[in-house]
Copies of this chain bind each other. A is one copy, B any other.
């Protein structure tokens, strides 16, 4: 229960990567990005190669937040280290940053934000493999995250089965009718104070301390995810709902649904069947109903043909927040299953 940082059994390297793909991104976000790479105890004493687990974050997360301390808990940097210090077979753990000025990228390529999917797959993965003794094959490479990070962990192996062969999703975004539509009504109401114009809210949000108005989180996510999923070619985010009534706009909403992991599975069934290990969990009172999204994703991958013995599914008593204590559980589980 000591709150003060102790030494790690392994080693955490804090790098900065100069990205070609993020250079000139539409939001003017930095193309120099932090990348933290952890090597387990024993790494420096031998020449063994290790599986790698890529860890991505939820919406509004950026890499430096992994060092945030909360009372009576340790950081994931520490609890992840403790997994390997405790005897679980070692992995390289890669903490990737995909933050944007809107708070996130959803780990996709979009004219509204930038090429974050490509950045992760085509820049970071080779960068890590070139500098660390990883096993550079999909059966030894996993991706894990929570919330939007869980979403990224679900979709990236579908899109790039050549790279990722395992995943862990904690309360990952899915089943969008339940997780997103409820916010359309909240957003439309909130926009009454901004002439029903989300860009007026955005201008206001940027000009004052963030998150001092109750609508900030809802509107930020609505605008930001629109930038990821439904930007025009010129980068302008198109909302999936009418900003006055909250009514679904079918054409734009269809673009969002095309990114619903549950709905993506049938088109990527072969990639799904090739997965070596899939961890799915969520809290039973998740405010975005991501426990139900988890159920639906589990059902979809079973339908696609993934055998049950490669899946770990668990619902637990919690909401959406403060579930970081789940991450070392999935990390240890993946570490046992990745090929080495």
Give the B-binding residues of A (Cβ under 8 A): 1-5, 30, 34, 60-62, 64-65, 67-73, 99, 101, 103, 175, 177-178, 181-182, 184-185, 188-189, 205-206, 209-212, 242, 244-248, 262, 284-285, 289, 291-293, 295-296, 299, 317-318, 322, 325
Find out whether the CB atom of B185 lies under 8 angstroms from the CB atom of A62.
no
Asked, given contacts A60-B71, A178-B181, A322-B211, whether A99 binds B3 with beta carbons under 8 Å apart, the answer is yes
B64–A71 touching, CB < 8 Å: no
The answer to whether A103 and B245 touch across the interface, beta carbons within 8 angstroms, is no
**Given the contacts A189-B291, A325-B209, A177 and B248 also touching, CB distance less than 8 Å:** yes
How long is the Cα–Cα vector from A242 to B289 in the complex, in angstroms? 14
A-B contact pairs, 10 of them (CB 8 A): A4-B34, A65-B69, A67-B69, A72-B211, A175-B245, A178-B185, A178-B246, A181-B181, A189-B292, A211-B322
Cα separation A206 to B2 with both chains bound (whole Å): 11
Give A322 Cβ to nearest chain B Cβ, in Å: 6
The answer to whether A212 and B318 touch (CB under 8 A), given A67-B67, A175-B246, A291-B189, is yes
Mostly, the A contact residues are: loop
Please state the number of chain copies in the assembly.
4
**Cβ of A210 and Cβ of B65 under 8 Å apart?**
no
A-B pairs with the 6 shortest C-beta distances? Answer: A72-B210, A60-B71, A209-B325, A185-B289, A68-B68, A245-B296
Closest to A188 in B: B292
Residues of B close to A70: CB separation below 8 A: 65
- A299 to B284 Cα, complex, angstroms: 37
Please name all residues of chain B whose beta carbon is closer than 8 Å to the beta carbon of A212 when the two chains form the complex: 317-318, 322, 325
The residue on B at minimum CB distance from A65 is: B69
List the B residue with the shortest CB-CB distance to A196: B295
A67: which B residues are within 8 A, CB to CB? Answer: 67-69
List the B side residues contacting A175 at CB < 8 Å.
245-247
Given A62-B3, A291-B189, do A69 and B68 touch, yes or no (CB 8 Å)?
yes
Contact (Cβ within 8 A) B246 A211: no
The reply to whether A244 and B72 contact each other, CB–CB distance below 8 Å, is no
Contacts of A211 in B (CB 8 A): 71-73, 322
Chain B residue at minimal CB-CB distance from A185: B289
Q: Tell me the minimal C-beta distance from A126 to chain B in angstroms.
A: 24
In the assembled complex, which residues on chain B have CB atoms less than 8 Å from the CB atom of A245? 175, 292-293, 295-296, 299
State the Cβ distance, A292 to closest chain B Cβ, in Å.
5
Complex interface: chain B residues within 8 A of A244 (CB):
295, 299
